[in-house]
Amino acid sequence: MTAPRHALRVIKKSARIALTRSPAWKVGQTVRRRVNTGLATGRDTYVDSVLMPASQGSAARVQYAAVLDGHTLNLHATLPAGTLPEGDTGTTAHLVLLSGATRLRTEAALGREENGEISVTATALLGERLGGVPVTPGRWHLSLELEPARHEGRAALRLRLLGDGAPSYTGPTRALATCAVTGRRHRLGITPAGQLRLTVAPARARAEVLRVERSFSGVGVLFAIYGSGTSVADGERPVVEVAELDRKHALDRRPAEPLPGDPSAWRLTVPLAKLVDTSRKQTLTLRLPRGTRGAKPLEIGRREHDLRSPRQVVTPPKFTVRAEDGTFVQVKPQYTRRGALQLVCTPRTPVAGSHQ
């Protein structure tokens, strides 16, 4: 890397650190947090004071709704007063997902709140590959269906679900919208009419680190590939480039080895002892060339997570390798803000009087 480019990178990084530590940045975060809280309060007020009265008993109020671990839909809603007759024990509930002409159902459970209100709770896996509800990419409107016992002779009752019931996360974790198995993204929201809606987006092309294995001569990176345009033909192996940061040409290109039991998982062995330049510090990245001419390479990066501070939790520990010339090099794995994996290789300066 030339001196001007290196100096520019240092200046940009220093400016970014100074900005994030400045009082103005903290004020901006506070303002955004208050705006989001105000919007959530406004939505709740609109649903409770306008939409619920206008529904005239044809809608249930969502108290909690979230997609946890990327593919588990959790729902809790209360039914309007008088929906079920006193002493009813034969009615069953289902959660209905509707998209165009496609209608899917999954079981739900009826219960009673402490204040006497009747509630419905549902937990559903999303995705046919997981053995759950076979939702496909698109928008799905959610509602409830109550079916009385056959001998009662009453028709099934369908209730819209109003409100989003979005939980507030104040701890070290947050909601994970991306499924770790399929790569699809699931997001809950509400329509302009206030009805609960699930949006399913297809998997984005990405390569995620599963595990980093250290050795005295290099590093092994286990990773998985997801998304459109990333499929590997039978008998072929993805080729990974080891490149220095901000350098166009790769230091090394080698095929990854398949991992048994998972067609999307691979192992890459990087011989750092042969690749590192012991005369200077290097930052190496791992990337997958794309098949389309001119397409940007796909960087191998951090796995999707539900942590608020992933750098403090999921970053692999540093280790030492011995280069071919006998120099010990400290290797520090790290993730960028965008989640790309980097290997920072720093040659250790020999102590005066020490022997190789």
Read off the pLDDT of residues 226-275 as tens digits, 9 standing for 90 and up: 776 566 666 688 899 999 987 778 889 999 999 888 888 899 999 999 99
* pLDDT value, residue 343: 94
Q: Compute the distance between CA of residue 140 and CA of residue 163 in angstroms, rounded to an integer.
A: 15
Contact 104, 128 (CB under 8 A): no
196 and 127 within one domain:
yes
245 and 102 within one domain:
no
Q: Compute the distance between CA of residue 300 and CA of residue 302 in angstroms, rounded to an integer.
A: 7
Q: Compute the distance between CA of residue 176 and CA of residue 73 in angstroms, rounded to an integer.
A: 11
169 and 208 within one domain:
no
- Structural domain harbouring 107: 40-81+90-201
Paired tokens of 269: 């062995």
251 and 176 within one domain:
no
Question: Global pTM?
Answer: 0.66
Contact 90, 149 (CB under 8 A): yes
Residue 1 lies in a domain: no
77 and 63 within one domain:
yes
Q: Compute the distance between CA of residue 272 and CA of residue 324 in angstroms, rounded to an integer.
A: 9
Contact 256, 267 (CB under 8 A): yes
221 and 132 within one domain:
no
* pLDDT value, residue 356: 45
Question: What pLDDT digit, counting tens, does each position of 154-166 carry?
Answer: 778 899 998 877 6
Find the range with the poorest average confidence among 91-100, 255-264, 294-303.
Answer: 294-303
226 and 97 within one domain:
no
Give the chain's domain count.
2
Mean pLDDT score across all residues of the chain:
80
Pairing of strands 250-255, 265-270: unpaired
155 and 167 within one domain:
yes
299 and 232 within one domain:
yes
76 and 132 within one domain:
yes
Contact 223, 206 (CB under 8 A): no
Specify the CATH number for the domain of residue 210. 2.60.40
95 and 218 within one domain:
no
- What average pLDDT does the segment 40-59 reach? 63
Question: In terms of C-beta density within 10 A (0-12 exposed, 13-18 middle, 19 or more buried), how is residue 207 classed?
Answer: buried
Q: What is the DSSP string of 125-154?
A: EB-GGGTSB---SEEEEEEEEEE--GGG-P
Q: Compute the distance between CA of residue 29 and CA of residue 25 in angstroms, rounded to an integer.
A: 6
Q: Compute the distance between CA of residue 172 and CA of residue 49 in angstroms, rounded to an integer.
A: 34
Residue 331 has pLDDT above 50, yes or no: yes
Residue 30 lies in a domain: no
**Among the ranges 1-10, 228-237, 334-343, which has the highest mean pLDDT value?**
334-343
Paired tokens of 5: 């480019």
Residue 73 lies in a domain: yes
Residue 27 lies in a domain: no
